[in-house]
Structures are given as C-alpha cells and as structure tokens.
Amino acid sequence: MVSKIALEEHFLSPGLVEDWLPTVTGVPQAKADQLLQQLMDFGDRRLEAMDKAGIERAILSISGPGVQAERDTAAAIRKAQAANDFLALEIRERPDRYSGLAHLALQDANAAADELERCVRDLKFHGAMINGHTNGQYLDDRALDPFWERVEELGALVYLHPADPVVPAPVLDGHRALRRATWEWGFETGSHALRLVFGGVFDRFPKAKLVLGHMGETLPYLLWRFDSRAELYGVKLAKPPSQYIKENIWVTISGMYSVDPLYCAITALGPERVMFAADYPFESSEEAAAFMDSTPLDEELRADIARNNAEKLLGLT
C-alpha cells in the first residue's frame, strides 16, 4: 500500500452544522446522521479510516456550503473565523496527521484576504477551500481581486469545491437523480473554473494556484475545444485557455475512482498535476485507496499522485 496525502477530506465545526443540514435533504435520515457523526469526529473513527487507506495526512476542510450561503456579511466573517480556530485546535492535537484549508467569507474580499493570511501565517494552513459561488458571486468577479492578490502573495492554494447552482438547471427538471453530485455539481464547478480562465484571473494573477476535485470536473477532456472556441469568439487572453488549465490548475481524484479519467487527466495536464483525495466521509477512503493502489501505473508515478505531488504543492517537503 502506497503512502498517501488526501486533499479533500471534510469536517464540520459546531457553528456550521445548521448551514450543512439542507445539503442532505432527501438523504435517508440514518445516512445523514452517520455523515454528521463522521464530519464531527477527529478521533479514532477518522484515524482508523485513514490508517486502513494508507493516508498519512488528511488536509481538512469545511463541508459546504458553510458561509458561502450566509447573507449577513458580519455573521459570515465571524463564523468563518470560528471554524478556522476550531480546526486549528484539532490540528494541534494531531499535527502529524492533520492539516487545514481555511474557510473564508468572500462576502468581503478584504476580510477574506486578511483571514486567509491569518490562517496561512499563524495557523499554518495551506490555503482555502471555497464552496462554489458566494450568494451568486463567482470568483472571477473583479471585486474579489484583493483576495486573489493575497492568494498569490501568500503562495496559497484555492480548492474550488462543488455547490448548488444559483438556479437549478432547467435541463435537469424531472430527473432528480441528475441533480447535485451526479451531474449538476460537476457542470457548475467546471463552469466556475472556466470563468476564472476566460475572465482573465490568471492573467492578472499568474501565480495563483487552483485545485479542482473529481479529476478536474471534466475540463481535461475539453482542452482543444476551449482553445478553438476562444479563438472563434475572439477571447482576449495572453495565452490559450488550455495553457492556464495546465499551468494554474491541479486536480484530485476525489469521488472519481475510474482508470480512464485518471489516464486522461495525467495525459492532458501532466503527471505532476494529479493528486490523491478520498472525499471523506462522502466517499469510502478504502475504495479510494484500493483504486490508487491497484490501478496500472508506473510505481514512481503512483507515489507522485498518492503523495509526492501534494507534498510539493503544499510545501511539506
């Protein structure tokens, strides 16, 4: 079993439980209760799951939507800070097993930038996880440039996590099984990432580092088409869209334990851009690990995806 660092592993702090509960509407109550217990646990249950999967270190982040759905800016800032302080205390108990990503209130770009800096410099977090849009505001909005400026200055990563769209996609009406994680979230999150590319965020902040789960939310499959259509429509960027995706974006295998998309991501983005994640507790850590351990790969490449690439990106080497 190869040693692993897992980048998309979720938790909840007490102050954000009520924000999370609507995400399990429709889920059988027993399963929702189980997930909540797992999200709130930092002890033997989580560590046992990590040990069985060969996960040496879990990079912990709030399970969404968190404060991205909070309408009151002051409350969002307060709740995000409390969640980060809560996580820092848990990491302090097991610094050899846990690291963190900050939870940020993008309702105020300057406050989010300051909180990111506090989390990176004082709490030793590695960046932030953003749970999609913030009340309809996407991360390419020019009002958020002060946030991106600080991201670049700190060398911090931004992990863009799926969220419900502002308005449920009408094309999925009548097909509940296609909502959320099946298809809707991937389309929403991939589109959000493309807004950053086509909106010039990586021209303005060329050292910004974005991470996407689920093998890149389908983007690795479509690089040629992004370039072709950008040329057709006269998109004004310094580079072809595919180049930003290859230079500014990393992906994890969270919730996508299939050989073909893994091979595509490696080929399209480069082997140094693909990393391991289990998406605990929403996916099985053991299933993720079994996939990572058994997929036909050169052993050096397997170690890079499982651990080494994350070590370099997070500055753990």
Q: Give catalytic residues, as residue numbers.
A: 279
Q: Which tokens belong to 123?
A: 């709490």
What are the DSSP E strand ranges found in the chain?
Answer: 4-11, 55-62, 98-100, 127-130, 157-160, 209-212, 249-252, 274-275
Q: 3-class DSSP state for residue 5?
A: strand
Sheet of strand 127-130, all strands in order from the earlier edge strand to the far edge: 127-130, 157-160, 209-212, 249-252, 274-275
Going by C-alpha positions, the residue among 41, 114, 90, 57 that lies closest to residue 281 is 41
Cβ–Cβ < 8 Å for 12, 280: no
Distance in angstroms (rounded) separating the CA atoms of residues 135 and 116? 20
User: Which residue carries 């995400």 as its tokens?
Assistant: 23
For residues 170 and 254, give the distance between their C-alpha atoms in angstroms, rounded to a whole number: 27
SS3 36: helix
The answer to whether the beta carbons of residues 2 and 290 sit under 8 Å apart is: no
